[in-house]
Structure 1
Amino acid sequence: MEIRNGDEAGQYHQLCDGTGVSNEIADDDSRLNELGYKQELDRKLSLLANFSVSFSIISVMTGITTLYSTGLTFGGPISMIYGWLVAGLFTLMVGLSMSEICSAYPTAAGLYFWSAKLCGNDWGPFASWLTGWYI
């Protein structure tokens, strides 16, 4: 499916089969236009691609093999159980915060752009550079 702009302002969209695009896509496009970008990324991900990205980001196997014996040795099973729950809760809060920021600034290479926008004009370039080196 290909999205084409129908008028000069880019507010009206039409699919190849002639049906209208949902309001969410049009809202995203208008938000990106406000930020000075145009919609270029494909909005589909296969089941295998989704699993692959999720698995590589989470990296469960490397985390378990490197930290499982350390946690059991120094803290025991209780620290492992509560540690997973507490760390999972904080990870969920960070993920929810980042998803909120992502919905406000939906751009590729989002972390650099987010840090630049959230720090303002004075500290934005430095924060973007620092984010790039930290990642």
Structure 2
Amino acid sequence: MSCTGSNTISFSPGLSLTAQHTRIGGSGSYSCLSTDPAVKWGRSSISGGGRNGCFFSDATTVERITWNTGEKTKVVYHLGTVQQVAGQAVVLVVGRVVEGRFKGRTVTSPGLQTVLNPLECASKGGVERITGPSTLLIV
């Protein structure tokens, strides 16, 4: 199944040039193409934490998705790759469905999140929020 949409992710404290412990929160919305025509879209809440920076992520993140059918999916992502170049954070996370619909399947979520000011990584507060298009591939 392939879903495209957007995510907004917040970091507290903000991402900086040096990795530090951060809390992660956010939300997402997706439109989907599936072999099951009943699944058309989903909305998610995102939470987690770990060591994160503008160029590094070693965090556990949980995404709880509610599908248009009312079914739910819980995905746990353990390690992500974050590349920050010229104000664009290219994020790739790989996880596993641990509860609900699609349990046992692998999920990859590549996305390109826009940071409004690329110099935020070097600022005192860091990058507190990234937002942009995202994809869920459930295999």
Q: Which is strand-richer, 1 or 2?
A: 2
- Scaled by the length of structure 2, what TM-score is found? 0.19
Larger Rg: 1
Structure 1-normalised TM-score?
0.19
User: Which of 1 and 2 has higher RCO (CA within 8 Å, sep 6+)?
Assistant: 2
More helix by share: 1
